[in-house]
Structure 1
């Protein structure tokens, strides 16, 4: 079972920095991430989601390949690529895996303008080592599906970073 963690940062750049750290830790097998999305509240109040994987582009590329293959079989590869890319992009845009987009937008509505929330869907992790790597970035826990003990540890670690004066 996966755990969801949503942490608010003052800027999108800070949230991206933490996501990059988590992806680096994944390469070291300290965490397994199913999805990591950054939600940013714009000046006009709209929520922009910065997905880890662009499903529309991936769908278009995959659709182009299959369209080319079918097009070659029916002696019209150009039309095959165009139809394949269009249908793949449409399928990719309509698909959603990982964290539900509307759920993230709903939670992010409470953010202040310019703030960013990092949503991470974690399959498993070595909690002490991961926390050690991200706690200096600070942040405020918005929501988790962790048990109360683990959530308190996370909140305390992030709060201690906020209390320390900047060097």
Structure 2
């Protein structure tokens, strides 16, 4: 079973940085993400979704390939590719994978102020302690999760934690001028 997390940020840049960090953790096999969407709310109050996966585009590509392949059989590869791309794009646009777009728009509209952004994560599984360590101090406000209370509180604490600065190098002794 997957968990849904929605975190609000002051800027879209912050949300992008955290999404990139989470995707980096996925490459290290610390977390498995099904979907990661950034929602932004503009000054007019409209919500825009910045999704990682675009089913219509991938459907068009696979449809073009299969259409061209079948078109070769009838000696019309270009027409087959065009028909296949159109069919694939239509099929891809009808399939909504990951988090429901309407739900994200509704939640973002309720929770985000104009000019801010939020990050929706659909998490299949994660190594909680390591992921929270990596997210320590990135900021953001947890709006909603499907985690249990303990895990949700740990996420809130990690996001809000102050990351200690590295110790400064000792200052070189200053010699008094002689004169």
Residues 106-126 of structure 1: CA distance to partner in whole angstroms, max 9, x if unpaired?
100021112111011111111
Q: Using the TM superposition, give the Cα deviation of residue 161 of structure 1 relative to its aligned residue in structure 2, in angstroms.
A: 4.2
Partners of 2:127 and 2:114 in 1: how far apart?
A: 33
Partners of 1:49 and 1:102 in 2: how far apart?
A: 10
Q: Which residue in 2 is equivalent to 1:135?
A: 136
Q: Which residue in 1 is equivalent to 2:73?
A: 73
Partners of 1:69 and 1:98 in 2: how far apart?
A: 30
Alignment of 1:28-39 (within 5 A): 28-39=28-39
Task: Note if contact 1:6-1:119 (Cα within 8 Å) is conserved in structure 2.
Answer: yes
Consecutive unaligned residues of structure 2, counting only runs of 5 or more, are 165-179
- Aligned residue for 1:6, secondary structure, equals strand
Consecutive unaligned residues of structure 1, counting only runs of 5 or more, are none
Task: Note if contact 1:32-1:122 (Cα within 8 Å) is conserved in structure 2.
Answer: yes
Alignment of 1:47-66 (within 5 A): 47-66=47-66
Structure having the larger proportion of residues in helix: 1
Partners of 1:59 and 1:114 in 2: how far apart?
A: 33
Q: Using the TM superposition, give the Cα deviation of residue 160 of structure 1 relative to its aligned residue in structure 2, in angstroms.
A: 3.0
Task: Note if contact 1:4-1:145 (Cα within 8 Å) is conserved in structure 2.
Answer: yes
Does the alignment pair 1:17 with 2:17? yes
Q: Which residue in 1 is equivalent to 2:101?
A: 101
Partners of 2:41 and 2:162 in 1: how far apart?
A: 24
Task: Note if contact 1:58-1:92 (Cα within 8 Å) is conserved in structure 2.
Answer: yes
Task: Quote the RMSD (CA, aligned, Å).
Answer: 1.5
Partners of 1:50 and 1:135 in 2: how far apart?
A: 24
- Structure 1 length-normalised TM: 0.93
Task: Note if contact 1:138-1:161 (Cα within 8 Å) is conserved in structure 2.
Answer: no
